Amino acid sequence: MATPFDEKGDVDPAAIRSNVTRWVAAGVRGIVALGSNGEAPLLDERESDAVIAAAREAVPRDRLLLAGTGRESTRGTIDASRRAASLGADAVLVRTPSYFKPRMTTDALVAHYTAVADATPIPVLLYNYPAVTGVTFAPDAVRRLAQHPNIAGIKETTVDAAQIGSYVDASAGESFAVLAGSAPGFYAALCLGAGGAILAAACVVPRLCVQLFEAFDRGDHGKARELQRRLIPIAVAVTSLHGVPGLKAAMQLTGYIGGPPRAPLSPASAEAVGSLKSTLQPLEEFL
């Protein structure tokens, strides 16, 4: 989920609750607060807690609330993860540390996530996002971490079919879910054994994402592939093309509360908004 700000630029808990309520009604399995598209790196610790608390109020107990709690230091990550648990999150989603990339070997990642999973009272999900972090999990790192009883899965944002498959294979036999993190690769990931997805586009067209998953789940590859094709343009528009500003603009266009992003991000241009409108037009049935 994106994080809406009020007119003063502060976190807007009422807007969060309103958006979450609509997404839940659309049938999503859960909500991720404080992911990349939630502008988590732009919030301070106090604000982060407020976002989780607001989301929890609106996410019913039969759905999942995940909270992004990755920090650069192991101790900071543990601290944020424990706070998230105490605020009612069901699991934490922890991106790889990235500032000291060349030191983030498999051993370092295993030590980091093991320490976090040991210290956190709720399940931990790994989060692989090399386009941003410059760090990626080797399949062997996934194999080792999947054996930890408190590590429940990985969000994989690449669309590398070989890598997605390797994560599935590396964690076979463990209670561990590979989740697609990039909408254009959602269907392929499901074919390869992914158990679901965490997608920015689901903030705008949640029904399309849910229907794609359900089509695949009942073995209707043709329908799933067709929905995949229809999902791509809006997914690209709210990520690589227009980024978080585009995501928030698209939310505004579809009845959610988006609002402006926080600086140094700037609002989507009028041109971008026009382009988003066109991209959304053929998707009305999913809004």
Write out the catalytic residue numbers.
155
Would you count residue 255 as binding its own copies (CB under 8 A)? no
The contacts of residue 103 (CB under 8 Å, 6+ apart) are none
Would you count residue 185 as binding its own copies (CB under 8 A)? yes
Q: Is the distance from CB of 128 to CB of 156 less than 8 angstroms?
A: yes
Residue with smaller CB distance to its own copies, 58 or 215: 215
Q: Considering the complex, what minimum distance in angstroms separates the CB of residue 187 from its own copies?
A: 7
Q: Considering the complex, what minimum distance in angstroms separates the CB of residue 74 from its own copies?
A: 4
Would you count residue 189 as binding its own copies (CB under 8 A)? yes
Q: Considering the complex, what minimum distance in angstroms separates the CB of residue 162 from its own copies?
A: 4
Q: Considering the complex, what minimum distance in angstroms separates the CB of residue 183 from its own copies?
A: 9
Would you count residue 284 as binding its own copies (CB under 8 A)? no
Q: Is the distance from CB of 52 to CB of 85 less than 8 angstroms?
A: no
Q: Which residues of 47-83 are buried (b: 16+ CB within 10 A; e: fewer)?
A: bbbbbbbbbbebbeeebebbbbbbbeebeebbebbbb
What is the C-alpha separation between 21 and 203, in angstroms, rounded? 12
Give the residue, chosen from 81, 120, 171, 228, that forms a contact with its own copies under the rule CB under 8 A. Answer: 228
**Residues 111-118: contacts with CB under 8 Å, at least 24 apart:** 111/74, 112/74, 112/77, 113/145, 113/148, 113/151, 114/145, 114/148, 115/74, 115/78, 116/74, 116/77, 116/78, 116/81, 116/92, 117/145, 117/148, 117/150, 117/151, 118/150
Would you count residue 97 as binding its own copies (CB under 8 A)? yes
Residue with smaller CB distance to its own copies, 56 or 112: 112
Give the residue, chosen from 17, 22, 30, 42, that forms a contact with its own copies under the rule CB under 8 A. Answer: 42
Would you count residue 265 as binding its own copies (CB under 8 A)? yes
What residues line the site for its own copies (CB under 8 A)? 9, 36, 41-45, 72-76, 97, 99-104, 107-109, 111-112, 115, 132, 134, 159-166, 169, 182, 184-185, 187-189, 191-193, 221, 225, 228-229, 232, 240, 243-245, 262-266
